[in-house]
Structure 1
Amino acid sequence: MRDDDRAQAFTLEGLMSALLVLLAVLYAMQAVTTTPGAGEARESTHRLQQEADDVLATVANDRSRDLSRAVRYWDSEEHTFAGARDRQAGYGDAGPPTDLFDGVFARTFTERGYSYNVALRYRSDAAAGGTGVEHLVNMGPPGEDAVSATRTVTLYDNQTLTAPGSGDRELWEYDTDPSNGEKGFYPIPDVATGPVYNVVEVRVIVW
């Protein structure tokens, strides 16, 4: 091979190498542009966390549809929250009825493609410090990027259930034994002395 042919071959190899390097750089730049970074993911999680806090705060401060009303929205004959699917799923994927929260969970989360659970944790045994859980809304196991927000609700002995047709029976008059049909069934027990009935933690988990 002549020297000029060898030189042309080296030049061609150099151009091809440079082209491959350029294509690799362009591909890497495109991947960085189209793939959300860790900072963006953190910002999205922080925003969702703030929205969960805001929703609970809004509901807690609503005089007509507050969290206490939701905790007491129980059908003592059906042994579920009024109109719910069952105790395990609560209102499930359908979400709570408009009568409870005026659709704020649907507008904030469901309509934007998010799922959420609403769990009520309460003291089940005053002496042993045990806890129980009722599911107001259970849409399934939370994802890895789930966020949560909590509020506490104090129930009082002289309050009543808020489900339609519940009547004026006060909380302390209900039984926590579902087999007792005479007194009516409400799963959250009276574990406090004085006018306080129980303290319930309302936890919302969104993903």
Structure 2
Amino acid sequence: MISWSRALNFYREARGFTLGEVLVTITITGILFAIAAASWQNVVESRRVDSATNQVKADLRLAHTSASNRLGAARLIFNGNGSPVTCNGQSAAYCLVEPIPSGGTVQRPRNFESNTIRLTSPNLFLASGPITIEFAANGTASTVGAALNAGLTGVTDRCPSSTPSGVPRIQVSSNASNPTTHCLTFNIATSSIKVD
């Protein structure tokens, strides 16, 4: 059997953490968690913009291919200021209009996985209405009615300095205070698409 005096000595010598040590540990853990959460949010936002950029790029290529294959005009319609457009009776981030074999067209509303993504143009201007990028059957592209290099009021050009300025540009960006942005440019004569 253990004597009471030995048991008391054991508990007197046993040491734990002081309240100060516990508070310091919790504070450091909280700071590390806050830094990790902010970094994670930036990664998630960047991936959303990457995904949206790939979606727009694929739809531009699809419009080009549809126009060439079906010998009719295909269009991508969006508002240069980032507001939605009406497509097939629905509100959409942008609208893909493809020719169909019967001779008409079909409108396909396109939205991004997140409502925090905007499609804008820093160098295309149209006085009223959405901007239309049209692909002709011969493979060329044009910006229907939109003036190049005029730009829209309130749309900040966030394209990298390496992005060509003399060609139509589409920005895909998030609504964050310091947004992640990708710029799509395309050559009107060849319809080649580049992402910066």
TM-score over 0.5 for the pair: no
Higher helix share: 1
TM-score band (shorter)?
Answer: 0.3 to 0.5
Structure ranking higher on relative contact order (CA contacts 8 Å, 6+ apart): 1
Higher strand share: 2
Q: What TM-score do the two structures reach when normalised by structure 1?
A: 0.38
Q: What TM-score do the two structures reach when normalised by structure 2?
A: 0.40
